């Protein structure tokens, strides 16, 4: 039985739950959160250590880009498995790279030779065009577009509907 422990019971945590349930990606979902008193929350975020086993994956569902990546590093250091969540309606090219701890939400596109590094959110309908590098911890908001030959800086947030035109951010050679 595969289970997912989601850190964060806010809007983003519930979004991840919805994506996971719609795709039947895991058999069980557990929430941990430091502030919520909701009955569905099984404990504090630091309680994640009590759930580490070979059938459990972890996802830090925090809108704060830095915090999301920090938690991925904590999971890695503890030997916990970090989930990558990709909705079935998203298009991810077989020639693209999506690193662990990312969420690719419904109808998002990651085109050929694109690289999406650790802990990114590629939100509903967002597009990552060919030959783009999305550095760690980036959040591409709903319907944003990053056109070809761009490198988006670590922890950046591209707002909803924003278009980053070709070669706006110089690619490293």
- At residue 4, does pLDDT exceed 50? yes
pTM: 0.95
Taking CA atoms, 93 is separated from 20, 22, 53, 90, in Å, by: 20, 21, 31, 10
| Averaged pLDDT of the chain | 96
Confidence of residue 172 (pLDDT cuts 50, 70, 90): low
| Domains (range + CATH), the chain | 3-83 (3.40.50.20), 84-167 (2.160.10.10)
Q: Nearest CA to 120 among 170, 162, 73, 68? A: 68
Q: Give, in degrees to the nearest 5, the angle at Cα 145 between 155 and 151.
A: 45
- pLDDT per residue over 109-143, tens digit each? 999 999 999 999 999 999 999 999 999 999 999 99
């Amino acid at each position: 039985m595969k289970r997912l422990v989601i850190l964060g019971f806010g809007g983003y945590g519930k979004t991840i739950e919805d994506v996971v349930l719609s795709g039947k990606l895991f058999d069980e979902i557990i929430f941990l959160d430091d502030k919520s008193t909701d009955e569905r929350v099984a404990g504090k975020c630091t309680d994640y250590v009590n759930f580490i086993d070979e059938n459990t994956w972890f996802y830090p569902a925090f809108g704060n880009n830095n915090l999301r990546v920090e938690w991925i590093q904590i999971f890695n250091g503890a030997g916990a498995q970090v989930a990558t969540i990709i909705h079935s309606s998203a298009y991810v090219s077989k020639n693209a790279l999506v690193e662990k701890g990312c969420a690719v939400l419904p109808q998002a596109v990651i085109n050929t030779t694109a690289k999406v590094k650790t802990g990114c959110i590629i939100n509903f309908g967002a597009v990552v065009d060919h030959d783009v590098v999305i550095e760690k911890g980036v959040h591409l908001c709903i319907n944003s577009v990053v056109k070809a030959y761009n490198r988006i800086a670590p922890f950046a947030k591209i707002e909803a509907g924003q278009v980053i035109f070709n070669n706006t951010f110089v690619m490293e050679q």
